[in-house]
Structure 1
Amino acid sequence: MKFVTFFIVIVISILLFSCGNNKDTVVLKGDISNLENREILISYIAADTLAIDTITSNSRGKFTYKNSIDTLTVFSLYFNNQSSSVMVFADPDDKISIKGDAQTSDLIKVNGNEINNELTSFKESNKDLLQQRILLLHNLKEEKDKNPTTNDRILADADEIARINSFNQELVLNAEEYVKKNPDKMSSLILINEFFANSENPQGLQRVLDYMQGDILKSRMGLNLKAYSDKINRSAEGTSMPYFQLVDKSGDTIQSYDYRGKHLLLSFVSTTGTDSRENIKTLKQTYQNLNKDSVEFISIYIDSDIYPISYVENDSVEWTVVPEKRSWASDIVEAYNIEFIPNNILISPAGIISERNVPAMAVGSALKSSVKNNR
């Protein structure tokens, strides 16, 4: 989990941007070490459109960038061929300083207004955690590049990933504590978006939003985070499955209530992705050993407009296959809040979402647990 991700940057930019009339110049002054090349990519939202520009630093990594803005704007700077990034918040007439190491972008200091100062302070207070995580991530990448995949390497990777996840969890707890102490700050909303705005922890997002107070909740970002929280909670584990109506590869219409009384696995996949192919391959092995009277699978190809799907791995799939022509814009993707593929969702005979994002290799055991719980 990077401290800043491209997806989150774009989301925040869209949430914060609003039109105005009077534009004033903002100045970004940078001093970044360990640049592998002098070109820095910068993106921001202008007139509801993603704008992309290039900054050229001098040989010492120093640069100055000016732009005319009329409201709070989020600039995203990408270093070393977009392998690292930092996020900058700027109001009209602000003079922002950006200083740090491109190889440890999580620790880059951004100062020049209240939001940047507060976020930089949060980074500084968690410097040890961030440094340890950076080191582990670096070591993990270096070892993977050096050594082929072996059983010993897989075990070592698993141990390092567990440690990284432990650091991430501690950062999440610290972010939540910050929000508690600063319930009326824009910086708190930004940390909520960074650490809690994901479909894997809908209860956590709702919990930290409940800490927020005052007019900040009426900001565009506050309103959108609340709307997103409501959305992911509608398809969270323990909720009733959202209604769907689909057309399978044979042209038959299927609906969600057709599967009441059975365990149902919704598998969202791609026709081309390697992970999706592995997902289907593993599900085929699991499906062979299931009681077909009590379990149904549906694979939804959300990047396909071909009827029927011609991909060879699906020639022997025994369960229902749906090529979803609207792809990521389809109703079922929206209703079930699908943000990545492959993604397997298990639904109980009572129509309750019992588990989200089930790894394909764990579907068999998840079904056994669901059968035991629904006896």
Structure 2
Amino acid sequence: MKRSQFAAVTAVAALALAATACSGDGGGSADGPIKVGAINGVTGLFQTPEVPQAVKAVFDEVNAAGGINGRKIEFISKDDAMNPQRSTEAAKELIDSEDVVALVGSSSAVDCGLNRATYSKSGIVSIPAVGVDPACFTSPNIAPVNPGPFKLLTAMLYYASETLKHDKVCMFYTVLPGSGGGIDTAIKEWSDLTGKQLAVKDTSVGEGDPTPYLVKAKAAGCQAILYNAQVGPWFAQAKTQGMQDVDIIMGANSYTDANAEVIPEGMNAYSGTEWQPYTDETLPGNERWAKIVGGNKIQKTAFSQGAVMAADVFVEVLKTIKGDITRESVTKAFKEMQPIAYPMVGTPWVFGSGDAHNPIEGSRFVKVENRAWKVLPEGFIVPGKK
């Protein structure tokens, strides 16, 4: 789907605030709640407890303003603890037992790959706050509100070669199971846009001693390194190797205050972000997010940004439905919706009728200065676009 055809149809200030013109029943009766589900990692290895909290806070705001034509939104989040069996059970419970009209704000690391077929078979849409694996972006009934790790990777490569003007761009990555194909696709997209190739590609990086990788990078003359593993040891050893003139660019998972604090002075450490950098609450879109999470004492993270955005765009599309709000009418509305310009991201968001959905592209970049992240001035970097 071509982003150049997108048209801005709304402003974030109007999102999710007032009662709407929607009417009819959904989930059983015209005056009952509109049931919305999510699968989140609240416990387990991939924990995002702030995500369902932020989604609920947006829906509470809508309900306090009168709901959707007087009907309240009932939000039901299931914790899958990154357990495959629990994730499939959660999807079945939400769809069959709870009779939700859609899934909004999911943040599970395993949900998309396990449940994509279930969502298609059930005719239900999912709008994850955080899309993680490739299945989140290659399924007909799933459309995340983040670029995802692979579109972000393309943006990081593009930033290294086109903004920082480096000829020798290298990659030292840890590859998670099932993500190798997505990484290769991202690299190809960058190469097709720029005509450039990686000087070094090493996807065997682990959590052990980083010295052999850094020696390899130094010998190859790497000017920029894309890196996604443990931050502290890597930068400590890079400084020991005298690599202060190398730009090291990390993914959104490394954009935390804790990581900024362990990077030695004098190192060039960057991170790509999927939304407006959350450490600057004055950036477009961040004011609303900060109001929601701050007012409800929710942890301020990039993932909570995705939660607020997912809930906001869901409400905006819900407001366009004429007649009954049911699973069928909600799915139809998302398949036929107009794009929504949301200032927290680089391109408009749209679900649409395609078999794959990765509408959000681009990244903003931050750099560590004095043990804290500084937002860089370029704005969103969308590969291939000025």
**Structure 2 length normalisation: TM-score?**
0.26
Structure having the higher Rg: 1
Structure with higher strand content = 1
Highest relative contact order (Cα 8 Å, sep 6+), 1 or 2? 2
Structure with higher helix content = 1
**Structure 1 length normalisation: TM-score?**
0.26
